[in-house]
Structure 1
Amino acid sequence: MKALLLAATSSLALTGFAMAQTDATDGTATTTDTTTTTIIQDAATDVGDAAAAAGDRIEDAADRAESALDEAVTTDAADVAEDAADRAESVTDEAVTEGADGTVVDTTTTTTTMPDATTPVVPAPMGAPADPAVQPTPDTAPVVAPDVSAPALTADNPGMLGSWLLDRRIWTTNQPSSSAWSDPMLTERPAEWTDIAKVGDIVVDTDGNVLGYVADIGGFLGIGAKQVLLGKDALHFVRIGDDAFFATNFTREELEALPDFDKTTVMQ
Structure 2
Amino acid sequence: MPFLRPALTASLLLAAPGLALADAHASSPFAESTLEYGESYMATTLIGTRIHATEAELTPGMSLPAGTVAEWDDIGEIGDLIIGTDGSLEAVVVDVGGFLGLGEREVAISWDMLRPVYEEDNIQEYFLGVNATEEMMRNAPQVTRVPTE
Say whether 1:232 aligns with 2:114.
no
Alignment match, 2:137 = 255
Unaligned runs of at least 5 residues, structure 1: 1-143
Instruction: Write the distance in 2 (CA, Å) between the matches of 1:157 and 1:182.
Output: 12
What letter matches 1:258 in structure 2? A
Q: CA deviation at 1:170?
A: 0.7
Larger RCO, structure (CA 8 Å, separation 6 or more): 2
Alignment match, 1:210 = 89
Q: CA deviation at 1:189?
A: 4.0
Say whether 1:192 aligns with 2:71.
yes
Instruction: Write the distance in 2 (CA, Å) between the matches of 1:212 and 1:261.
Output: 11
What letter matches 1:186 in structure 2? L
Normalising by structure 1, report the TM-score: 0.38
Alignment match, 1:222 = 101
Percentage of pairs with the same residue: 29
Instruction: Write the distance in 2 (CA, Å) between the matches of 1:209 and 1:238.
Output: 21
Unaligned runs of at least 5 residues, structure 2: 1-20
1:169-180, aligned counterparts within 5 Å? Answer: 169-175=50-56, 180=57
Alpha carbons of structure 1 residues 157 and 251: separation in structure 2 relative to 1, 3 Å: closer
Instruction: Write the distance in 2 (CA, Å) between the matches of 1:232 and 1:170.
Output: 12
Asked if 2 retains the 8 angstrom alpha-carbon contact of 1:217 and 1:256, the reply is no
Asked if 2 retains the 8 angstrom alpha-carbon contact of 1:174 and 1:192, the reply is no
Superposition CA RMSD, Å: 2.9
Q: Secondary structure at the match of 2:112?
A: coil
Asked if 2 retains the 8 angstrom alpha-carbon contact of 1:173 and 1:249, the reply is yes
Higher helix proportion, which one?
Answer: 1
Name which one, 1 or 2, has greater alpha-carbon Rg.
1
Instruction: Write the distance in 2 (CA, Å) between the matches of 1:154 and 1:214.
Output: 22
Higher strand proportion, which one?
Answer: 2
Task: Count the aligned residue pairs.
Answer: 119
Alignment match, 1:181 = 58
| CA displacement, residues 163-185 of structure 1 (integer Å, 9 cap, x when unaligned) | 2101100111234xxxx533432
Instruction: Write the distance in 2 (CA, Å) between the matches of 1:260 and 1:205.
Output: 19
Alignment match, 1:160 = 41
Normalising by structure 2, report the TM-score: 0.65
